[in-house]
């Protein structure tokens, strides 16, 4: 269930932000470790999402077509 709730776009954005954060001049080690851990966790989740994603299709019928 939790996988379905996973917001890829949000996670991806956060990964990008973490990447950007690491470009800073002054970096606090403890914060860096926290960000690293968070980044790796998000990367793992995004990968899982990418690996398990088959496309789904649905046919839409309009009222005339339903009558056919």
Token output for 53:
């994603």
What gap in Å lies between CA 15 and CA 35, rounded to an integer? 9
Q: Within positions 20 to 59, which residues make up the interface with other proteins, using CB under 8 A?
A: 22, 27, 29, 32-33, 36, 39-40, 43, 46-47, 49-50, 52-59
Encoded tokens for 29: 């080690």
Query: Min. distance of Cβ 3 from other proteins in angstroms?
Result: 11
CA atoms of 60 and 13, how far apart (whole Å)? 32
Which residues here bind other proteins, judged by CB under 8 A?
8-9, 12, 15-16, 18-19, 22, 27, 29, 32-33, 36, 39-40, 43, 46-47, 49-50, 52-60, 62, 65
């Amino acid at each position: 269930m939790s996988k379905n709730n996973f917001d890829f776009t949000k996670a991806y954005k956060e990964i990008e932000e973490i990447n950007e954060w690491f470009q800073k001049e002054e970096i606090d080690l403890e914060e860096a470790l926290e960000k690293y851990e968070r980044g790796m966790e998000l990367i793992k989740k995004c990968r899982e999402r990418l690996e398990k994603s088959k496309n789904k299709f649905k046919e839409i019928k309009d009222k005339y077509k339903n009558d056919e």
